[in-house]
Amino acid sequence: MSPTPPLSQLRIVLVEPAGPLNIGSVARVMKNFGLTQLVLVKPQGDPHSDDARQMAVHAYDIIEAATTVDSLPAALVDCQRAIATTARNRDLNTPLESPELALPWLLGSAAPSALIFGPEDRGLNNDELLQAQRFIKIDTRPPYESLNLAQAVAICCYELSRVGLRSQPLEQGTIPIQEPMASPDTGLASLDQIDGYYHHLESVLLKIGYLYPHTAPSRMRKFRQLGHRAALSNEDVAMLRGILRQIDWATPHHLPHQKPDPEAP
């Protein structure tokens, strides 16, 4: 049996989608390719409006079952893997991958996973991107390189459906398709647990003077990248947060007040 879980385990996450027309269009392409979990982060319109229903056609049930949340971390609760999409190159020291190469990784875990799309007018910012471990970019050609949200979702859903079909029984005489390497991710911390650790880490590093408020965002991006590479387990996060709690307790009692070195390693 293939370790690839069903597509129903995967969440399509839309961050601040601009209006009900796009939400309806996304629901339609999701149903075209067998995806059912839609999560809306601060939608900028009523996803249950007549416009959304009209664009969804026979996929309005996906909108009815959709979850609406107030933040991206809330959309990733219980997920262990997430990929974020971007339309332009970023200076994050993490390579941009093609959908074909990266998306099979989302289906290589038994835990829920997420594919994140940003607002149509700006895309995901760097902090939003770093909620995910990997990034993809859909290559287009000049002079008109822009894709609308539903088009981008459709391309990714198509690639995901191709991977999902590989887990189905093959008809007699069919040449098997090579499966992507899959990992059960046993014991890995969920993305919301890791996000809680990063917030705890930032507060402690600010308290002890390792971070300054004006440099904290850029430095914390580097810590997130480090954490993603480390693939932290539940035990790792518990141990690290235990250390932070001890530092937090010890700081007012035992550490001398001194000017911090902002370039300290």
pLDDT in tens, 185-208: 668 899 999 999 999 999 999 999
Q: ∠ CA 159-140-30 to the nearest 5 degrees?
A: 30
Nearest alpha-carbon partner for 239 in 177, 203, 187: 187
- Alpha-helical segments (H) within the chain: 20-32, 50-56, 60-64, 72-75, 99-102, 126-129, 149-165, 191-207, 216-230, 234-254
More confident call, 95 vs 49 = 49
- Is residue 253 very low, low, confident or very high in pLDDT (cuts 50, 70, 90)? low
Percentage of the chain exceeding pLDDT 90: 66
Q: Is residue 181 scored above 80 in pLDDT?
A: no
pLDDT at 95: 84
Domains of the chain: 7-165 (3.40.1280.10), 191-254 (1.10.8.590)
Give the pLDDT mean for 171-189.
51
- The 3-class secondary structure across 103-118, one letter per residue, is HHHHHCCCCCEEEEEC
Q: Is residue 180 scored above 60 in pLDDT?
A: no
Nearest alpha-carbon partner for 135 in 178, 105, 176: 105
pLDDT at 57: 94
- Scored b (16 or more CB within 10 A) or e, 203-216 reads ebbeeebbbeeeee
Q: Is residue 114 scored above 70 in pLDDT?
A: yes
Q: Is 124 exposed, middle or buried (CB count within 10 Å of its CB: 0-12, 13-18, 19+)?
A: buried
CB 11 within 8 A of CB 132: no
Q: DSSP character for 97? A: E
- Is residue 171 very low, low, confident or very high in pLDDT (cuts 50, 70, 90)? very low
Q: How far is CA 122 from CA 14, 173, 212, in A?
A: 13, 48, 28
Q: Is residue 84 scored above 70 in pLDDT?
A: yes
> For residue 58, what is the enclosing H or E element?
none
pLDDT at 89: 74
Rounded CA gap, 201 and 204, in Å? 5
CB 55 within 8 A of CB 21: yes
Q: What is the pLDDT of residues 37-52, one digit of tens each?
A: 999 999 999 999 999 9
Two tokens, residue 113: 């996973």
Report CA torsion sign: 32, 125, 193, 94.
positive
92: left (phi over 0), alpha (psi -120 to 50) or beta: alpha
Measured torsion, CA atoms of residues 54, 59, 60, 65, in degrees rounded to the nearest 10: -160
What count of residues does the chain have? 265
- Edge-to-edge strands, sheet with 67-69: 67-69, 37-41, 10-15, 113-117, 81-85, 134-136, 96-97
Q: Is residue 176 scored above 70 in pLDDT?
A: no
CB 135 within 8 A of CB 84: yes
